[in-house]
């Protein structure tokens, strides 16, 4: 059986760990060549080796997605390494929570930068190639659909207390999705968002046990608390109709649906991957 993404090239930001890693592995398993990105060279290399070890194609483009020169470098890596670009998944991100009276400008700016400005720059950097490729394919009478999947959150759809920055950013990425679906429809580029509910990753599980109550991650020199208290996690799961948090593999499955040919006539949509919870 032919793989649905055979011959396609995908770039996935933040794909060294967690959901991003699962997205990269899912796309690679169905035939796509991958550009892996992470702040940490070692984890990006590990994912690349996992893909190539299974017979797939992959390379890495490490670095901070918020850096001014990153977007062009990310796109160029795909074009230089594989000669084309078909799928963009804007996945990189993290949370830096606080109630609004305690939220600093630094917290606000950092979250907007990684969840809105970075995806905007990546898509802008891809626009010249997308437009040129579409014109050439149209002249040849060839139909080629390209895919953009922006990662959002239920916080961006419904809002969430303590996440004014993250909720605003994830709402903004949904707006960008809808705008580009209208701009890029003529180029046969499908642009959609997947809004995740509660998914078990290192960001939600790190403090689930009493022994890890002080877990943090370091982003640009800032030690940011991560994880969810065990009792709070249990309470959150009881609110999900399916009775549990999702797995990174299930999250990747939702993204995959927007990358395959069956979604060629779906664009400008926001799908919630949340186990039935709106």
Active centre residues (catalytic): 166
Distances (CA, A) of 226 to 36, 167, 214: 23, 17, 8
Q: Please tell me the distance from the alpha carbon of residue 31 to that of residue 28, in angstroms, as a whole number.
A: 5
Per the CB < 8 A criterion, the answer to whether 37 and 60 are in contact is yes
Question: Considering only CA atoms, which of 91, 92, 269 is closest in space to residue 185?
Answer: 269
**Interstrand relation of 58-60 and 189-196 (parallel, antiparallel or unpaired):** unpaired
Q: Please tell me the distance from the alpha carbon of residue 21 to that of residue 39, in angstroms, as a whole number.
A: 13
What SS3 state is found at 12? strand
Tokens of 245: 């948090």
For the chain, first and last CA: distance in Å?
Answer: 36
Q: Please tell me the distance from the alpha carbon of residue 203 to that of residue 163, in angstroms, as a whole number.
A: 15
Q: Please tell me the distance from the alpha carbon of residue 248 to that of residue 22, in angstroms, as a whole number.
A: 6
Q: Degrees (nearest 5) of the Cα angle 53, 55, 57?
A: 95
Per the CB < 8 A criterion, the answer to whether 258 and 190 are in contact is yes
DSSP designation for 247: P
- One-character DSSP codes across 28-72: HHTT-EEEE--S-HHHHHHHHHHHHHTT--EEE--S-TTSTTHHH
């Amino acid at each position: 059986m032919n793989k649905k993404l055979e011959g396609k090239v995908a770039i996935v930001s933040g794909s060294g760990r967690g959901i991003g890693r699962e997205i990269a592995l899912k796309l690679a398993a169905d035939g796509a060549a991958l550009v892996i990105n992470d702040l940490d060279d070692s984890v990006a290399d590990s994912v690349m080796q996992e893909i190539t070890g299974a017979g797939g194609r992959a390379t890495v483009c490490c670095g901070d997605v918020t850096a001014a020169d990153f977007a062009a470098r990310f796109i160029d890596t795909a074009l230089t390494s594989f000669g084309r670009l078909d799928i963009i998944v804007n996945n990189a991100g993290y949370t830096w929570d606080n109630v609004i009276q305690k939220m600093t400008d630094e917290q606000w700016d950092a979250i907007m930068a990684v969840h809105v400005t970075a995806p905007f720059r990546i898509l802008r950097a891809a626009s010249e190639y997308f437009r040129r490729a579409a014109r050439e394919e149209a002249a040849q009478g060839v139909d080629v659909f390209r895919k953009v999947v922006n990662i959002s959150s239920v916080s961006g759809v419904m809002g969430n207390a303590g996440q004014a920055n993250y909720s605003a950013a994830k709402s903004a990425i949904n707006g960008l999705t809808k705008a580009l679906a209208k701009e890029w429809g003529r180029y046969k580029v499908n642009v959609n968002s997947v809004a995740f509910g509660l998914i078990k990753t290192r960001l939600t599980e790190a403090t689930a046990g009493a022994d890890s109550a002080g877990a943090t991650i370091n982003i640009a020199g800032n030690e940011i608390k991560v994880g969810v208290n065990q009792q709070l996690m249990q309470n959150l799961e009881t609110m999900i109709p399916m009775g549990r948090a999702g797995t990174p593999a299930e999250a990747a499955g939702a993204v995959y649906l927007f990358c395959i040919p069956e979604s060629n006539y779906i664009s400008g949509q926001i799908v919630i991957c949340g186990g039935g919870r709106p």
